[in-house]
Structure 1
Amino acid sequence: MIYVLLSVCCSVIVSVLLKLAKRYSIDIFQAITWNYSMAMILTWLIYRPVLNNVQGAPVSIYGSLAVLLPSLFVVIGMAVKTAGIARTDVAQRLSLFISLTAAFLLFNEAFTAWKFAGLIVGFAAILCAIPWSKQTGDRDNNGSAWIYLLVVFVGFGVIDILFKQMATFKGVPFPVSLFFAYLGSFVLSLIVLAWMVFTGRLKSPLRHIFFGWVLGVANFGNILFYLKAHQALSANPSTVFSAMNIGVITLGTIIGMVVFKEKLTTLNKIGIVLAIIAIVIITYTQTH
């Protein structure tokens, strides 16, 4: 379970770093761009992907991820800034709701009463977690917080589906596909960043690069330890699945309330409890 704990910590650290970005005047887009350079380097150093046999690679999936990963990262930064860590983590983890729906609609997976119950509870959790009032986050932008949360929810669901398609593609090893997804994300982000710097819209001091590299270590660590947890507990994937998601919501909520003084309404707290229940139900449906 140590790998699960490390993965949970890395995931929450990403949210904490995005929360701290505003405090230290870090430009989110620049940090996200350099984050992918570090994730790409770490993928190369740890997995040593062999890149000489990528014929027939799922280029469309790589391209989609290259666009969606950095774009969604920017939105996550805005969600953490306006809605707080707790709600953003709930929105991210409840994207399982979309994955489960896609499994039913797109991949013809059997639909059971338990799956339906998980979807209903997950939908109720989403409604409760939305910051309907303007009590937390950046007051100037709080009215748009629910939009950022919705994009995080939908975006992570789509990315999860793309990663599953990439992982099940037998023609190219997963580490190779992961490297190309990070490479594409970095190259596209770097092109946009270079254009913004060239046109004078942004300046790029070194602190943005260093912050992005730290963010990249945490981002990559989340994936690395999550995969290692599944390898170590291969006979109990549901344990990894539920512990990871519940752990992120719980730790994210605690840090958000204790460290950053985020205020949650009673309805929000009910939403977090319902989110945990929904994840337990969805995990149950995957093993029964």
Structure 2
Amino acid sequence: MIYIILSISCSVTVAILLKLAKRYQISIIQAVTVNYLTALILCFLFFKPDTSLISSAAPWPVYTALAILLPTIFLFLAASVKRLGIVKTDIAQRLSLFIPILAAYFIFKEDFNQYKLAGLIVGFPAIFLTFIRKSERQPTAGNWIYPIMVFVGFGVIDVLFKQIALHKALPYTTSLFVVFSMAFVVSLVVVSIMAITKKTKIQLVNLACGVILGLFNFGNILFYLKAHQALAKNPSTVFAAMNLGVIVVGSLVGVLIFKEKLSKINYLGLLLAVAAVILITLSQIYAV
């Protein structure tokens, strides 16, 4: 369980760092760029990817899509944490698991059992109730776009990573190294253009924050994979503990440390989110 605890801690820490970025006027795009550089270096050191296996037969369209989506959705994640807080953003990110579930049914023609269907039925109201801001009289469409993009974006990313996992010619960690490398290049191009057009100024503090962000971002992935290796016979345990842990710990951090305001309706949404993850976990345990 230590790996699950470490993975949860790293995931929530990433959200905390993004929350603090506004306070210290950190350039998110610069931090995200260095984050991917840090992640790919750590990926090389820990996973020792065999780059000689990379060829034209690799799933390059999937790699390219991920290279663009990862930094893009990371920016939406940061904006969501900034505008709506850690609690609502973590729930949006964790409930994005519904996207690959729906893809499995409609695209890959997998069967649904009663628990999976119940999880989806409970989960979508959870998203709606969690994001409602009762105190606001103005339309919240401008704020909704960020968690919605987090929800859809991380869901699509999950589907694409599952596609990579199905490509047996390349080890998953080698593909991960390629994706991080391409995501870094995409981010670097964006930062370079912004620097040349003077829309951003390269500062050492942003680069330092990017290294820290990359450490925890990679740590989340590393410990999650190790948890699955340690509990290879109980993948549903890892799935449930990780998703529930991030929702619960993220909520406690948001409410107790950052004093994020939640209405009774939001708390109901939080409870439904927990119930949805439990139901999806049961669907894996009782899958036939």
| TM-score normalised to structure 2 length | 0.96
> What residue identity is the alignment partner of 1:67?
I
Equivalent-residue separation in structure 2 for 1:200 and 1:97 (angstroms): 40
Task: Give the structure 2 partner of residue 38 of structure 1.
Answer: 38
Deviation digits for residues 193-213 of structure 1 (CA, Å, limit 9, x no counterpart) = 011101111101100000001
d(CA) in 2 for partners of 1:142, 1:211: 31
CA 1:281/1:268 → structure 2, altered by over 3 Å: closer, same or farther?
A: same
Distance in 2 between the 1:19 and 1:192 partners? 22
Match of 2:281 in 1: 283
- Which residues in structure 2 correspond to 1:150-229 (within 5 Å)? 150-229=148-227
Which residue identity is paired with 2:65?
Answer: S
2: distance between equivalents of 1:201 and 1:141?
Answer: 30
Structure 1 residues 141, 74: CA separation in 2 closer, same or farther (over 3 Å shift)?
Answer: farther
Letter in 2 for 1:216: G
- Distance verdict in 2 for CA 1:227–1:273, change over 3 Å: same
Query: 1:69 aligns to what?
Result: 70
Counterpart mapping for 1:47-86 below 5 A: 47-55=47-55, 56-86=57-87
Gaps of 5+ in 2: none
What does residue 95 of structure 2 align with?
A: 94
Provide the C-alpha distance between the structure 2 equivalents of 1:116 and 1:175, rounded to a whole number of angstroms.
Answer: 32
**C-alpha displacement at 1:134, in angstroms?**
4.8
Distance, in Å, in 2 between the alignment partners of 1:52 and 1:253 is 44
3-state SS of 2:273 partner: helix
Unmatched 5+ residue regions in structure 1?
Answer: none
Whole-angstrom distance in 2 between the partners of 1:131 and 1:159: 26
Question: Secondary structure at the residue paired with 1:108?
Answer: coil
1:286 shift after superposition? 1.3
Query: 1:54 deviation in Å?
Result: 1.3
Cα displacement string for residues 111-158 of structure 1 (whole angstroms, at most 9, x for unaligned residues): 2222211110001111111133356xxx99965221101110000100
Tell me the CA shift for residue 47 of structure 1.
0.7
**CA distances 1:93-128 after superposition (whole Å, capped 9, x unpaired):** 001111111111111111222221111000111111
- Mapped partners of 2:244, 2:61: distance in 1: 32
Aligned residues of 2:133 and 2:263 also touching (Cα < 8 A): no
Q: Counterpart of 2:264?
A: 266
Residues in 2 aligned to 1:85 and 1:140: alpha-carbon distance in whole angstroms: 22
SS at match of 2:118: helix
Shift of 1:168: 1.9
State the Cα RMSD in Å: 1.5
Size of the alignment, in residue pairs?
Answer: 285
Query: What letter corresponds to residue 108 of structure 1 in structure 2?
Result: K
Paired letter, 2:246: V
What residue in structure 2 maps to residue 125 of structure 1?
Answer: 126
Separation in 1, partners of 2:238, 2:203: 40
Per the alignment, residue 237 of structure 1 pairs with: 235
Distance 2:131 2:111 in 1: 30
Amino acid at match of 2:156: V
Which amino acid letter does the alignment assign opposite residue 236 of structure 2?
S
Structure-2 separation of matches of 1:169 and 1:205: 40
Cα contact 1:84–1:256 (8 A) shared by 2: yes
Distance 2:135 2:211 in 1: 33
CA distance in 2, matches of 1:221, 1:141: 38
